[in-house]
Each structure stands twice: as C-alpha cells, then as structure tokens.
Amino acid sequence: MADQGLVRETACAVVGKLKSGDVTPLDLLDVLEQRIAEVDGKVNALPTLCFDRARSHAKVLMQKPAAERGLLAGLPVPIKDLTNVRGVLTTQGSPIFKDNIPAKSDILVERLEENGGVVYAKSNTPEFGAGANTFNEVFGPTRNPWDTSRSAAGSSGGAAAALASGTAWLAHGSDMGGSLRNPASFCGVVGLRPSIGRVAHTPKFGVNRTLGVQGPMARNVEDLALLLDAMSGEHAADPLSLPVLPTSFLSAARSGRRPKRIAYSPDLGITPVDPEVKAITRKAAERFAELGAIVEEAHPDLREAHECFHVLRAFDFAISKAELLRTKRDMLKPEVIWNIEEGLKLTVEKLERAEAQRVAMTARTLDFFDTYDLLLAPTTIVAPFPVENRYVAECGGKKFDNYVEWLGIVYAITLACCPALSLPCGFTATGLPVGLQMVAKPRAEAQLLAGAKVLEDILGVRDTTPIDPRLPK
C-alpha cells in the first residue's frame, strides 16, 4: 500500500529517501496516483496523466546505482502543458492542439529527466498561457485548493494547485508576466522566475525571445532551489543559456546569508493594490528588521512598464501566433486574438520606443541594486478572486484597460531582467494566501534564495501546504 504520509514530506526529504533506498521512484508514483484520484477532481490541476510512461522511465532509472540517478534521484515532476513531452498529450490549453502528441521533448524536459526527474503529468494552463486565470476549453478551470470557488491564477495555475493539494512535490512552470509568481501567491507556494538564460529551453519562433522564461515551483525555498539546480545549465540549442554555477542553488539557499539593506514598495509606483494585501506584505517585509537589516520604502523608476510590456508582449504574440490567427481564428479565445492583432498593428517606431524603455528601466534597476540587496513588493495586487472572473477588471477604484494590466507589479520586474520569486507571507482575514514578491539584481538567484529562506524561517508559514482542497465557506 502506498504510504500517503509521503505526500506531506518535503522534496528534499523525499530525495534523501530515494538516495538511501528507503523508497523507490515506483513507490512515489503509486503515492501520487492515489493522491490524484482522491483530490484532483476538486481542483483540476493535472488533467493529463502519463503514469505508464513514468513507470517505464523509473524502471530504467532504477537499474542505475542510486548515486548515478541525478539530483532528483527519481522524484516525479509534472510539466506545464505549454511544454512538449515526447509521447504525451501537449495541448497548450487550446482546442487547436487538443490531440497533439509531440515526437520530441523540449530540452528543459530532457534536462530534468537527465537529472533524475520522472514526468508523470501535465499541469493545466490557460490557452497559450495567456492570462493569469487558469481555464481553457480543453480541460476547463483549475481551482484554488484553499477555496475551490477561487482562481489558482496563472498561467502556471495547475502547477501551483498541484503543489498546494499534495499531488506534486516539485513542479515546472514558466513566467512572462508573472505566470509562475501569480499562482504561487494565490496558492500559498513558492515560484521563481529565474534570470534570462538560467534555464535552457527549446527556442520557438525566435532565438532571442526574453520575456518568457522557464522556472521552478515548490512548497518551500529549499525545494525550489533543488529544482532550479536540476533545471539550470547551458545547452547548445539555446544560445542564451548560462553555464552551471560552481556553487549549487540549494547550498546558497541554506547558507544563512542575510541581506543588509531591503527596499519595500507597496506598488512599485505603478499600480493600485488592495489595502489588505499591502498591509500583509509590508508586515512581512518589515520582519527583516529583526535580523538587523535596514528596511526602507523605495523602488526603482518603472513608470514606462505598462506601455513597454503591452508593446513587447503583443509583438511576441504576433511572431508566435500570427499563423494561427490566419488559419484557426475561430478556435482562439478573444484575449489571444486581441493580443495577436495588437502585435500585428505595431510599427517599428513603437518597437524602438519599447526596447529603449526596457533598456532604461533595466539600467535604473541595476543602479537601484547598488543601494539595496533585495526589493520586496506584493506579488499580486489582490487576493484570489472568483474562478469565473476571467481577470481582475479593477482595483482600488481604477478600471484596467485590458486583461493583463492588473499584472503590472510582476511584469515590471520581467522587463527589468531580474530574478524574482513569490514567497508565502500570510493570509487574508478569510484565510486566503498572500505572496511577497522578492527581487534581486540580474543573475543573483543565489542571493535571492538565501534571503528568501531567511525570511521564510522568520515567517513560519513553510508547512501550511499541502492541504486537502477546501470548499467555499
């Protein structure tokens, strides 16, 4: 009988048991299959399962000595449904690809499997990852385990809901405008957008697309660092990819290195924020003062973020989806059509202006980090909203012009080329999770993870997940 107690263990602890031989990858797959049968019907986090493939992979891995099974040693990992896994249904959340079975995996998946990861499921995502609420016409909505009437955010909503409900120890996500930070915040888990190139992936539609990156999600900072170690490294197929650093991210997270000067901003100067979210994140940021750190209210100048992101995101949609608009328009959701059409209307002058804005914001942010070790802000401007709402239409009396503008607090950091993570930092009065966005200068993931682990220890919210999905009160 599968030991369901393993569901509540940390990923690092389970990997330790794999390496000692206390459990096998097959044992873990049995545990997950049972847990998914018990709880996933309530949240719809992992709509595509591939346990036969996973068990075949696990059996091959188990023929190797334990010391040669990679960093993850046979730990099962779900892959977001935007990313190809060979022989496994990969829909991108779109009716256009509802029967798509790739012949080749993304190099990210190959890297994880080389490092001992066992793929057993695809996690749900909105169509083409567009929008920060996970629903699509192929599989339906993913619900928040803390309150199943609420959104899990997106676009890595399935990954976050799986972690929170105990159907994954670690999960793969991706992030353009907060796509793994938002769901981490809504579901009370941790999600990291790494620096550009930290995690190699197969280029599609352009080799120099830098708004979107792949990244790790987990229930705590140490587990997150472990998965980043298993994901990172250069690859010839991704010309932007970075080499592995001499010190592991897990050891960096465990280093105890403390930041000396912290900046907190309730809004990055660019967006309204719900007062309760503001209060919870401010209180968490100020806890750094207990360690002797200076905590000040400050942020870099990011005033061009909305205009810049709107243009660069639209351009990215145009180069990656224009052919679908021409040939499959009737099968695309309205938000995707809008994004593509916005991109096709762009002039070179608008692109020139947006690229210059991004360069300027990145330079100002780098200067900012000459003074501060970390920048802290809310991850999301609201607590989890009703799942039937397609997006946040207004906040603090401000009505947003489009379905992505409410994400400014995360996409501003995307534009500045910084690594950023969402750390659980407290709960609203109604018991919904709130995430604190923690940002470091480009390529400073080690410093970011160390600071996040230090704050995680102070806040004491590390063991709040996994939970059984909760019906609305």
User: Does 472 map to a domain?
Assistant: no
User: Does 334 map to a domain?
Assistant: yes
Q: What is the pLDDT of residues 147-157, one digit of tens each?
A: 999 999 999 99
17: annotated active-site residue: no
Beta bridge partners of 263: 296, 375
Choice among 80, 122, 321, 333 that is catalytic: 80
User: Does 473 map to a domain?
Assistant: no
The CB-side HSE value for 136 (13 A sphere, CA atoms) comes to 34
At 66 the pLDDT is 87
The CB-side HSE value for 142 (13 A sphere, CA atoms) comes to 36
CA separation for the pair 20, 295 (Å, rounded) = 43
User: Does 470 map to a domain?
Assistant: no
105: annotated active-site residue: no
Q: Residues 53-73: what's their mean pLDDT? A: 96
H helix or E strand, kind and range, residue 118: strand 118-123
User: Does 471 map to a domain?
Assistant: no
CA separation for the pair 109, 172 (Å, rounded) = 9
Residue 131 has pLDDT above 70, yes or no: yes
Q: What is the pLDDT of residues 161-218, one digit of tens each?
A: 999 999 999 999 999 999 999 999 999 999 999 999 999 999 999 999 999 999 999 9
User: Does 412 map to a domain?
Assistant: yes
Q: How many helices (H) and strands (E) does the chain have?
A: 14, 15
CA separation for the pair 455, 425 (Å, rounded) = 9
Choice among 123, 151, 155, 195 that is catalytic: 155
Choice among 179, 185, 195, 320 that is catalytic: 179
Q: Do the beta carbons of residue 55 and residue 26 sit within 8 Å? A: yes
The amino acid at residue 392 is V
Q: What is the pLDDT of residues 236-255, one digit of tens each?
A: 999 999 999 999 999 999 99
Give the three-state DSSP class for 214: strand
179: annotated active-site residue: yes
Mean pLDDT computed over every residue of the chain:
97
Domain residues for the domain of 227 are 4-464
Q: Residues 421-435: what's their mean pLDDT? A: 98
CA separation for the pair 205, 51 (Å, rounded) = 31
Q: What is the pLDDT of residues 304-342, one digit of tens each?
A: 999 999 999 999 999 999 999 999 999 999 999 999 999
- Total domains, the chain: 1
For residue 423, give the nearest of 129, 260, 218, 276 by alpha carbon: 218
User: Does 469 map to a domain?
Assistant: no
Residue 427 has pLDDT above 70, yes or no: yes
Q: Do the beta carbons of residue 94 and residue 128 sit within 8 Å? A: yes
CA separation for the pair 75, 116 (Å, rounded) = 7
Q: 340 φ, ψ to 5°?
A: -65, -45
At 2 the pLDDT is 74
pLDDT range class, residue 1, cuts 50, 70, 90:
low
User: Does 186 map to a domain?
Assistant: yes
Question: How many C-beta neighbours within 10 Å does residue 426 have?
Answer: 18
Q: Residues 395-407: what's their mean pLDDT? A: 95
CA separation for the pair 62, 253 (Å, rounded) = 29
The amino acid at residue 336 is V
Q: What is the CA radius of gyration of the chain?
A: 20
- For the purposes of burial, counting CB atoms within 10 Å of the CB of 22, is it exposed (0-12), middle (13-18) or buried (19 or more)? exposed
Q: Any idea what the CATH number is for the domain that residue 118 is in?
A: 3.90.1300.10
Residue 266 has pLDDT above 90, yes or no: yes
Q: What is the pLDDT of residues 366-377, one digit of tens each?
A: 999 999 999 999
